[in-house]
Amino acid sequence: MSDNERILAIHKVLLGFTQRAERATEETLIAPFVDSPPMFNLLSTKNNQIVFGRRGTGKTHALKFMSRQILESNERPIYIDLRLIGSNGSIYSDDSRSFPERASSLIIDVLKHLYNDLVELALEKIDAHPHPGEITTRIDALYNAISTVRVIGSTEHESNTTTSSREMSGLNVGVSIGATASGNAAFKAESTVQKDAGTRIKHTGKETAYLTFGNIGGPIESVLAILNAPRIWILIDEWSEVPIDLQPYLADLLRRTIPPINGITLKIAAIEHRFRFSIIKDQGEYIGLELSADLSADLNLDDFLVFDNNQHNATNFFKTLIFKHYESADPTGHQFRNSDEFIQAIFTQFPVFEEFVRAVEGVPRDALNLAAKVATKSYGRKITMNDVHAAARDWYNQEKATSINNDTNLSRLLGVRSRDVV
């Protein structure tokens, strides 16, 4: 095979990269995973932890790779993608529904997901367990605890014999968890309707949410105890997809369910500036999770992947990333001994590749997209500096510019920064 034929074959592979981790099969997901030490070591600690990173920085890939590593160590991962939770996730952001209904639906759906995974674990162990009846009893108790979460509506009407009537209504949501572990979530909404001679209606009142969770983790802890279960890792992805007004209430459920139980580790992947883990109340009280106190926030993928933060680590990471994706996607077999040899074969010189790394700004998904773009620009020949610049400009105009141009403040800031640089 000539050099041109080899470059053409490589470019065809670059054009076909799978760019989203959730679209990849389990096997093709594992092969191209790249660590940027000590990133994965920090992620693998048993500490409860928030993992920050912009869209496309590899949070989903890291959590799914971690799931495989956990299984291989004979422990148990429970991966929860909050975009896919429940049968109709759009209800959480449906403003036509009341806040209590949206919040309770989210909480129930997350609890049911945990329940289904614990049932799967129980089925794996029940045949060899000396007391299978006790397992089913505790599983039933957990189901019954979750099923008691419900919405209860009540209405009171008061009128007189004159030309006006008065109506009061209330809405409550209650949670009661089991006999040995109890908790409740209560939402109260009150309104008053004033009618005058049947021709005038006036609505007054306001809605307030009251959340009180007791030892809601009790039934879960009971199931894990009877199963003699290994460590459970709860990996929650796409946290920032949950409407921001509901996030503190889901966080509060997790705080009172997960950290108190020995043998469970919680990891949450979120986007910085798009999360709200707590609501601060009077006298230091709060609803939700408090960073540092309830779980650590010491891992941000940008610290390892952005070129200007760590040039050496970022260059090595993206060099290995592109090479591993090529290896896993190349139908003709491996042609290169290592990533250095691969980069030398497709870029005219190493500074061109460094410019490529700088252009992707620490986002692996953008790196895969830009690799396809530069392959288009340089199809059949080595990639030059002009190819990288042209591809980066096209990628920005097609994928990034619209979001900025639609936001007046962002557009103005970009203009100021551009003038400063130029």
DSSP symbols for 146-180 = HHT-EEEEEEEEEE-SSSEEEEEEEEEEE----SS
Q: By three-state DSSP, how is residue 353 classified? A: helix
On whether both 236 and 316 belong to a single domain, the answer is no
Element (H, E) at 326: helix 311-329
DSSP state for residue 215 in the 8-state scheme: S
Q: What is the pLDDT of residue 408?
A: 80
Strands 184-196 and 207-212: antiparallel
On whether both 279 and 357 belong to a single domain, the answer is no
Across 27-36, average pLDDT: 75
On whether both 315 and 269 belong to a single domain, the answer is no
Give the burial string for 390-401 (b: 16+ CB within 10 Å, else e). bbbeebeeeeee
Q: What is the pLDDT of residue 97?
A: 85
On whether both 350 and 382 belong to a single domain, the answer is yes
The reported pTM is 0.76
C-alpha pair distances (Å), 327 with each of 307, 336, 345, 417? 24, 9, 14, 39
How many helices, marked H, and strands, marked E, lie in the chain?
16, 12
Q: What is the pLDDT of residue 104?
A: 83
Q: By three-state DSSP, how is residue 72 classified? A: helix
On whether both 280 and 359 belong to a single domain, the answer is no
- 116 located within any domain: yes
C-alpha pair distances (Å), 340 with each of 39, 98, 306, 312, 313? 22, 57, 20, 14, 14
pLDDT digits (tens, 9 = 90+) for 182-236: 444 444 444 444 444 444 434 334 444 444 454 567 888 899 999 888 899 999 9
- 301 located within any domain: no
- 347 located within any domain: yes
On whether both 340 and 285 belong to a single domain, the answer is no
Element (H, E) at 211: strand 207-212
Torsional sign, CA 43, 48, 53, 59: positive
Across 323-350, average pLDDT: 86
Highest averaged pLDDT of the listed ranges 59-68, 101-110, 171-180 = 59-68
On whether both 64 and 169 belong to a single domain, the answer is yes
- 410 located within any domain: no
d(CA 317, CA 368): 13
On whether both 12 and 85 belong to a single domain, the answer is no
Instruction: Return the amino acid letter for 352.
Output: V
Q: Last residue of some domain: 294, 329, 349?
A: 294
Where residue 321 falls among pLDDT bands split at 50, 70, 90?
very high
Q: By three-state DSSP, how is residue 113 classified? A: helix
d(CA 128, CA 132): 8
Whole-number percent of the chain with pLDDT over 70: 77
With CA atoms as reference, report the closest residue to 343 among 362, 361, 325: 325
pLDDT digits (tens, 9 = 90+) for 61-101: 899 999 999 999 999 999 999 998 876 667 888 888 888 78
Element (H, E) at 30: helix 26-30
Domain membership of residue 142 as a residue range: 48-294
Instruction: Return the amino acid letter for 309.
Output: N
Where residue 283 falls among pLDDT bands split at 50, 70, 90?
confident
333 has pLDDT over 70:
no
Across 231-247, average pLDDT: 94
d(CA 209, CA 187): 5
Where residue 24 falls among pLDDT bands split at 50, 70, 90?
low
- Asked if 77 contacts 71 with a C-beta cutoff of 8 angstroms, the reply is yes
**How many structural domains does the chain have?**
2
Across 125-154, average pLDDT: 79
Across 47-73, average pLDDT: 93
Q: By three-state DSSP, how is residue 81 classified? A: strand
112 has pLDDT over 80:
yes
Q: What is the pLDDT of residue 309?
A: 85
Bridge partners for 204 per DSSP: 192
318 has pLDDT over 80:
yes
